[in-house]
Amino acid sequence: MTPTTPPALTLSNGVAMPVLGFGVFQSPPEETAAAVEAAIASGYRLIDTAAAYGNEREVGEAIRASGIDRGEMFITTKLWISDYGYDEALRGIDGCLRRLGLDYVDLFLLHQPVPVEFDGTVAAYKAMEGMLADGRARAIGVSNFSEQHLETLMQQTDVVPAVNQVELHPFFTQHPLRAFHAGHGITTEAWSPLGGIHVYRPADPDAVLNALEHPAVTSIADKYGKTPAQVVLRWHVDQGIVAIPKSVKPHRIEENIGVFDFELTADEVASIAALDTGVRAGPDPESISMATFPKRVEN
């Protein structure tokens, strides 16, 4: 079968970004290269990693092994908070590119805001503006930023983030933040697009919220002869949200990209959005600091 290559949307600076990509958070380094190779063979071109994931090297290996032209790939990585501050960020950026074995990335993100020390967050972003100017990133952006974090960052910097990558799935639809993004030309990218965080890190282990088992999703899957995961991913695509599902299982990697031969009606999109609880499963961005997340990235 000819692999499907996802269509692209256009970022505010004119760069094309695939609407569906492949995430590698919690992919063990020893499984990451094989997973990324399987993803590229299935047609994925966007790969989403981060310094903090500890698998940038293996992502780089898989890209080289794939034989696909670098120019066809869209590689995202993220600066971890132990590299915030201007000079620290310069070192962190070098570290990311060195581990990936790349001259440039397509999208470079601040992984988190650090609200208790936001000057360091802003300084790191200024270092990324330099990276954009010298061509080591084709676009820059942020992750896990609220409206307020974005406002404060934009007041002190020149380049509006092209992307904000945030927790977003049927149980947490981020409607107000998405409206803010739309008003500023910021593309919304969904992490945990399948709602995976509710399953692998449930708030209540006795009452797991699994979007892939919810009747609102499974009934639509039955109607189209698609899987629940495909319906949820199509729900993102139909709303112009970039989704980056993660899997280390080849059959799921293939399944998750098979969403370009059907589309949902507006009522179906709304019926899945109605599952929103307004409550995130991941960490509150206001709580992020080196005290709460003491992990350090070695460059």
Nearest-CA neighbor of 74 among 25, 22, 31?
A: 22
User: What distance in Å separates the CA atoms of residue 151 and residue 164, rounded to the nearest whole number?
Assistant: 13
Vertex 9 angle, CA 144 and 104, to 5°: 70
Binding status of residue 187 toward ligand NDP by CB under 6 A: no
Binding status of residue 256 toward ligand NDP by CB under 6 A: yes
Q: Which is nearer to ligand NDP, 67 or 225 (CB)?
A: 225
Binding status of residue 254 toward ligand NDP by CB under 6 A: no
Q: Which is nearer to ligand NDP, 113 or 120 (CB)?
A: 113
Stretch that binds ligand NDP, among 54-62, 194-202, 264-272, 284-292 (CB under 6 A): 194-202
Among 11, 15, 19, 24, binds ligand NDP (CB under 6 A): 24
Q: How far is CA 128 from each of CA 87, 108, 150, 211, 249, rounded to the nearest angstrom? A: 11, 8, 15, 36, 34
Binding status of residue 285 toward ligand NDP by CB under 6 A: no
Q: Which is nearer to ligand NDP, 88 or 256 (CB)?
A: 256
Active site residues: 53
Binding status of residue 196 toward ligand NDP by CB under 6 A: yes
- Which class for 58: exposed (0-12), middle (13-18), buried (19 or more C-beta within 10 A)? buried
Among 186, 212, 231, 242, binds ligand NDP (CB under 6 A): 212
CA max distance for the chain:
54
Cβ 129 vs Cβ 159: under 8 Å: yes
Q: Smallest distance, Å, CB 240 to ligand NDP?
A: 18
Binding status of residue 143 toward ligand NDP by CB under 6 A: yes
Q: Smallest distance, Å, CB 209 to ligand NDP?
A: 12
User: What distance in Å separates the CA atoms of residue 88 and residue 40, rounded to the nearest whole number?
Assistant: 32
- CB atoms < 10 A from the CB of 298, how many? 6
Q: Smallest distance, Å, CB 213 to ligand NDP?
A: 10
User: What distance in Å separates the CA atoms of residue 280 and residue 189, rounded to the nearest whole number?
Assistant: 15
Q: Which residue is nearest to ligand NDP (CB)?
A: 196
Among 42, 55, 187, 247, binds ligand NDP (CB under 6 A): 247
Binding status of residue 55 toward ligand NDP by CB under 6 A: no
H or E segment to which residue 140 belongs: strand 140-143
Q: Which is nearer to ligand NDP, 38 or 244 (CB)?
A: 244
Q: Smallest distance, Å, CB 225 to ligand NDP?
A: 15
DSSP state of 45: -
Binding status of residue 63 toward ligand NDP by CB under 6 A: no
Nearest-CA neighbor of 227 among 208, 255, 200?
A: 255
Contact footprint for ligand NDP (CB under 6 A) = 23-25, 48, 111, 143-144, 165, 191-197, 200, 212, 229, 244-249, 252, 255-256
